[in-house]
Amino acid sequence: MSTPAPPPTPSHTPAPGCSGARLPGRPRSAAADAAIIEAALRLIEEGATIGELSIEGIAREAGVGKATLYRRWSGKDALMIDVLRSLEEPSPRPDGVSVRDDLVTILELMRRRGLAKRNSALLRTVLTQMHANQKLWRTYDEHVIAARREVLREVLRRGVASGEIRDDLDIDLLADLFTGPMLARAILQEWKALPEGLAESIVDTVLEGVRPRA
Amino acid sequence: MSTPAPPPTPSHTPAPGCSGARLPGRPRSAAADAAIIEAALRLIEEGATIGELSIEGIAREAGVGKATLYRRWSGKDALMIDVLRSLEEPSPRPDGVSVRDDLVTILELMRRRGLAKRNSALLRTVLTQMHANQKLWRTYDEHVIAARREVLREVLRRGVASGEIRDDLDIDLLADLFTGPMLARAILQEWKALPEGLAESIVDTVLEGVRPRA
Reported as a single tens digit per residue, the pLDDT across A19-67 is 334 444 544 578 889 999 999 999 999 999 999 999 999 999 999 999 9
% chain B with pLDDT above 90:
63
Closest CA to B58 of B71, B44, B72: B44
Q: How far is B164 from chain A (nearest CA, A)?
A: 6
The model's pTM: 0.78
Q: pLDDT per residue over B16-43, tens digit each?
A: 333 334 444 544 578 889 999 999 999 9
Best mutation target among A177, A178, A201, A203 (most B Cβ atoms within 10 Å) is: A177
CATH architecture for residues B29-74? Orthogonal Bundle (1.10)
A206 — contact with chain B (CB < 8 Å)?
Answer: yes
The answer to whether B135 faces chain A, any CB pair under 8 Å, is no
Interface residue A54 vs chain B (CB under 8 A): no
Q: Does B7 touch chain A (CB under 8 A)?
A: no
pLDDT at A98 over 60: yes
Gap between the Cα atoms of A135 and A20, Å rounded: 29
Q: For all residues of chain B together, what is the average pLDDT? A: 86
Give the model's pLDDT for residue A187.
Answer: 80
Task: Residue B185: name the closest of B104, B123, B110, B80 by CA.
Answer: B110
**What pLDDT, in 10s, does the model give residues A107-132?**
999 999 999 988 999 998 998 888 88
CATH number of A99-208: 1.10.357.10
Instruction: Give the per-residue pLDDT at A96.
Output: 86
Greater confidence (B213 vs B13) lies with B213
- pLDDT at site A27: 46
Residues of A in contact with B128 (CB under 8 A): 132
Give yes or no for A131 touching B (CB within 8 A): no
Pick from A59, A101, A210, A20: nearest CA to B180: A210
3-class SS at B4? Answer: strand
A207 pLDDT band, cuts 50/70/90, is very high
Contact pairs from chain A to chain B, CB under 8 Å: 112
Cβ of A176 within 8 Å of Cβ of B181? The answer is yes
Which of A86-95, A142-151, A168-177 holds the top average pLDDT? Answer: A168-177
- Name the CA dihedral angle for A156, A162, A166, A170, rounded to a multiple of 10 degrees: 40
Domain spans, chain B = 29-74, 99-208
Residue from B98, B210, B213 to probe the interface with A (highest A Cβ count within 10 Å): B210
Helices (H), B54-192: 55-62, 66-72, 76-87, 99-119, 121-132, 134-140, 146-162, 171-183
**Cα angle value B94/B95/B100 (rounded, 5°):** 70
At residue A22, the pLDDT reads: 42
Give percent above pLDDT 70 in chain B: 87
* B52 CB-near residues (< 8 Å, 6+ apart): none
